[in-house]
Amino acid sequence: MQIALNAHILQAPRTGIGHYVAELVNALACEPDVELSLFHGWGWSSSLPGAAMPGYSRLTPLLRQIPGAYQARRWLTQKRFDQGRSQGIDLYHEPSLWPLSFDGPTVITLHDLTHLHYPETQPPARMREIERRLADGVQQARLILTDSQAVADEAQDYFALPAERFVVAPLGVAARFHPREDEAVDAVLKAHGVTAREYFLCVGTLEPRKNLTLALRAHALLSPTQRQQFPLLIVGMAGWQREQFNEELLQSLACGHVCLLGYLPDEDVAQLLAGARALVFPSLYEGFGLPILEAMASGTPVIVTRHSAMPEVAGSAGNYIRSDDPHGLRDAMSRLIDDNTHWQECREAGLQQAKLFSWERCAKITAHAYRQALGG
C-alpha cells in the first residue's frame, strides 16, 4: 500500500499531534505492506524532518493578522500537494483536522473535539477554519481514527455517523520515557535548580484548556515548607490567551516557588518527567493526554482530572481530582509528599498501566484501518 501521510505539522515545534505523526511514521516502518510518502507542506519525502524549535517561522504571527491568511495558506498547500504527489498513491492519511482534497480513499485521525467543548480556547480565525473544514473532512473519510473511545463516542453522536466508521487506535509511549536513577537525571535537574523527587511538574502548552491556574492555586495552598521544598515546574510553549493566568503566575514566580521553563528539548522533558515527585495534569479536556502516559512509563505518579479520555489513559493508577477544586489538588499533592507508601503504590500502578500502550500497537491498528479503507 502506498500511503500519502500529511506530515506538514512536523515543520512546527512538536507537541501532541507532532509527536503522534513522528512516532507513528517510525512504527509503521515495521508494517511490511505499508510504504509512506510524507508531505511536508513544501514537498514530499520518505524521511522525517528534524524537530523545529519555537521561532521556526517568524512569519506565522504576522500571517494570523492578515484577513484570509488561513484560506490562502491552504490553497497554496493544496497546490503543492497536487503537484508533487506520486500517481501511485493508494490512500491519503490526514493526521489533523483539515484533510486536503484527494481523489481516492481517505483516512483521518480525529484527536479531539476541543473546539466543541471549549470554543473560547481557540483563536477566532482558527475556530472559523475548523468550522469550515472539519465536517467535510469527517464525511469524506472512509474511516476515522481516534486516540480514545471517549472521542469516538462523542464524534459518533456529533456527526451522526455509525460506529463502524470509527477505529480507536490508542497512542503509545516513546522509548525515552522510562524509569531512571537519580544520578542519570542529575545534570538536567541541577540546570533547573531542582532535586530528584522534590518538585512537581506540569507539561503542556500554556493555554486555557490546560487549566494551569488550578495547579498554581493548589501549589500556593501547600504549607510554606512544602512549597519551598517542592517547587512547581511548568514546561510548555506559550500558547493562545496565556494572559488568563498572568496574575497567579506572576505572584508565584515572584515568590520563587514556580518555575516557567518554556519549550524544552524532548530528552530534557523525559528526564524531568522521570525525576518529578508527580505530574500535575489538571486539563479540562483531552483526546488522550500523552504526558500522563509518559509520566507513568517514567515511574512518576500522575494527578489528573476525570474528564474526557484521561481515565482511559491513567486507569486505576490516576490520582483523580476535580478541575475546579484547588484544595482537592493541594491534598493530592500533599499526600504524595507525605505518604511514601502511597507514592510507591502509585508509581508501580502507573508502570503497569503504561505497559498497555505502545506505538507498535497503534501502528498495527492504523495499518489495519488502511487495509479496511482499501477494501482489504
Secondary structure of residue 263 in the 3-state scheme = coil
> Please, are residues 259 and 236 in contact by the beta-carbon 8 Å criterion?
no
- The answer to whether the CB of 30 falls within 8 A of the CB of 360 is yes
Task: Say whether 346 sits in a helix, a strand or coil.
Answer: helix
Whether residue 271 contacts residue 253, with contact meaning beta carbons closer than 8 Å, is answered with: no
**Amino acid found at 69:** A
Q: Which CATH superfamily is domain 2-172+358-373 in?
A: Glycogen Phosphorylase B; (3.40.50.2000)
Contact by Cβ (8 Å): 257, 219: yes
Consecutive H or E run containing 66: none
Q: Which of 83, 14, 13 shows the shortest CA–CA distance to 44?
A: 83
pLDDT per residue over 218-270, tens digit each? 999 999 999 999 999 999 887 655 555 566 777 777 677 899 999 999 999 99
| pTM score of the predicted model | 0.90
Segments making up each domain of the chain, as ranges: 2-172+358-373, 182-354
Integer Cα distance of 301 and 277 in angstroms: 7
pLDDT at 5 (0 to 100): 96
Task: Work out the number of other CB atoms within 10 angstroms of the CB of residue 338.
Answer: 10
- DSSP E strands in the chain: the ranges are 2-6, 35-39, 44-45, 91-94, 106-110, 143-146, 166-168, 200-203, 232-235, 258-262, 278-281, 302-305, 318-321
Burial annotation 197-219 (CB, 10 A radius, 16+ → b, else e): bebbbbbbbbbbbbbbbbbbbbb
* The domains spanning 2-172+358-373 and 182-354 adopt the same CATH topology: yes
d(Cα 263, Cα 354) in Å, to the nearest integer?
Answer: 24
Q: What is the pLDDT along the chain (376 residues), one digit of tens a residue?
A: 999 999 988 877 777 889 999 999 999 999 999 999 999 888 888 888 776 645 544 445 555 566 677 678 788 888 888 886 666 899 999 998 778 889 899 999 999 998 888 777 666 777 777 777 888 889 999 999 999 999 999 999 999 999 999 999 999 999 999 999 999 999 999 999 999 999 999 998 887 789 999 999 999 999 999 999 999 999 988 765 555 556 677 777 767 789 999 999 999 999 999 999 999 999 999 999 999 999 999 999 999 999 999 999 999 999 999 999 999 999 999 999 999 999 999 999 999 999 999 999 999 999 999 999 999 6
What is the model's pLDDT at position 122? 67
**CATH number assigned to the domain covering 182-354:** 3.40.50.2000
